[in-house]
A and B are shown apart, each in its own frame.
Chain A
């Protein structure tokens, strides 16, 4: 995954290439994943994913729902490349944004320093980084915290930064793992406005959620049950 923008999905390392249309920004096929707990001979296997498939196209807002422990975050991490899969293939757009469920940040660095770090990772020039930072401060309304260290922020403000870092380079594919936990109602509504606007501009978005009640906001919904995805 590089910052190189392209609409063509790129297979992640060592995955077999599957047929994908140019409109597809994420395709996961036959994903299997088990976790092992304990030491032999008491070792036990927990099978989480048993051949999960899903697809996200450009300009689509797709939900991934399921019970606690159904494997939503596991599937998301595999799609991003944070977790190894046991079997299956993943293809996704090279320009990817990922917002993890728990903010992955550096406690002693400030909000501004996080934007600078990710601007370097996304290879944004100074003007592009500055414009993106100001736009996201404005959209999520947390500019007053820009000089604060992460350890000084509330859970909701951390989550705003977590989301903003995933959006900074306006990716083709955005993967959001319960991105609004800790948001107040106004920010929650603003989050959906932001997502819908980006969807309308062509971004493919996959959102992990517990709530089927958000169904009307989504173009398609996958339910993850018994290790497999089915469209509902």
Chain B
């Protein structure tokens, strides 16, 4: 295995050894999918949206993945910034450190997606499970990008996690199904992924244009995360 893959595995292991991470990995999807689906539906009605039933549960799984990925993305940068920079200076280099971090993030995102999807699949009948899985993964990747970007700009845990939570709340309550779709909803990065997820929850497919938009957004989020990791690990030579 290459040095980058082994280092990525170390970074992933570091996160999975945190007990709180494991507890959150199980409880957050359960909370969003099982416990909050009906509340999400009522909120949507109050805000001018119309999501309900399987779509509300599917959207809950997406938001659970987004929440967890945003938090873990933030802490991947904020908690290890100085140690990563030391490793880069020791000879690993910022590009290889950033690549290892991206690898760990994507694997973590995949794991989060699997748990969120399984929670959804076990609690609700989903018409298009493959579409739902892909859309949940995109929610996760988008929030890895948001979390790492915030982590590269704000190092304090409280301020940083509040910023990620703030973006998340705006995204949730202005997104498709939760509002009339105007205003902020038009510019939020999860908009198309939410459309795909709502459709999958209702047993419907999505147009090709939506899939292209979803793919491009996910790729953009990963590129953003890679830049954020690289900036955090790069040497400061003046």
Residues of A whose CB lies within 8 Å of any CB of B are 1-3, 12-15, 77-78, 80-88, 90, 96, 98, 100, 104-109, 113, 116-118, 120-123, 149, 165
Indicate the member of A3, A15, A78, A108 with the most B CB atoms within 10 Å: A108
Total inter-chain residue pairs, C-beta < 8 Å: 88
Contact (A1, B83) CB under 8 Å given A82-B235, A82-B236, A113-B10: no
- Name the residue of chain A whose CB is nearest to the CB of B80: A106
- Chain B, residues 87-110, CB within 8 Å of chain A (1/0): the string is 111111000000000000000000
- Total interface residues on B, using CB and 8 Å? 25
Which residues in B have some Cβ–Cβ distance to A below 8 Å? 3, 6-7, 10, 13-15, 17-18, 79-80, 82-83, 85-92, 235-238
Q: Which of B85, B87, B238 is the one whose CB lies under 8 Å from A86?
A: B238
User: Would B13 and A108 count as touching, CB distance under 8 A?
Assistant: yes
Interface of A is mostly: loop
Q: Are B83 and A15 in contact (CB under 8 A)?
A: no
Q: Is the CB of B14 within 8 A of A108?
A: yes
Bound-complex Cα distance A120 to B237 (A): 23
Q: Given A106-B80, A109-B10, verify A82-B89 contact (CB < 8 Å).
A: yes
Contacts of A105 in B (CB 8 A): 83
**Bound complex: CA A14 to CA B7 (Å):** 29
- Contact, CB under 8 Å: B82 / A104: yes
A81 to B90, CA, bound (A): 11
6 of the cross-chain contacts (CB-CB < 8 Å) are A82-B89, A90-B238, A104-B83, A104-B85, A106-B80, A120-B92
With A106-B10, A113-B13 given, name 8 new contacts (CB 8 A): A13-B235, A82-B86, A82-B235, A84-B236, A87-B238, A108-B15, A117-B7, A120-B92
Given contacts A81-B235, A113-B10, contact A108 B86 (CB under 8 A): no
A-chain residues with CB within 8 Å of residue B237 when the two chains form the complex? 12-15, 81, 84, 90
Given A82-B236, A104-B86: A121 and B92 within 8 A (CB)?
Answer: yes
Q: In the complex, what residues of B have CB within 8 A of residue A104's CB?
A: 82-83, 85-86
Give CA–CA (A84, B234) in the complex, Å: 11
B10 cross-chain contacts in A, Cβ below 8 A: 106, 109, 113, 116-117
Minimum Cβ distance to chain A for residue B232 (Å): 12
**Are A85's CB and B238's CB within 8 A?**
yes
A116 proximity list for chain B (CB < 8 A): 6, 10
CA–CA, A26 to B17, complex, Å? Answer: 40
Contact partners of B15 in chain A: CB under 8 A: 108
- Least CB separation from B79: chain A residue: A107
Q: Are B238 and A1 in contact (CB under 8 A)?
A: no
Known contacts A104-B82, A109-B13; A121 and B238 CB within 8 A of each other: no
Q: List A contacts of B90 (CB < 8 A).
A: 1, 3, 98, 118, 121-122, 165
CA–CA, A108 to B7, complex, Å?
14
Contact: B238 with A78, CB < 8 Å? yes
Q: What 6 A-B pairs are tightest by C-beta distance, nearest first?
A: A85-B238, A13-B237, A81-B235, A121-B90, A121-B92, A108-B17
Cβ A121 vs Cβ B236 within 8 A:
no
Q: A100-B86, A104-B86, A120-B7 are in contact. Are A14 and B17 (CB under 8 A)?
A: no
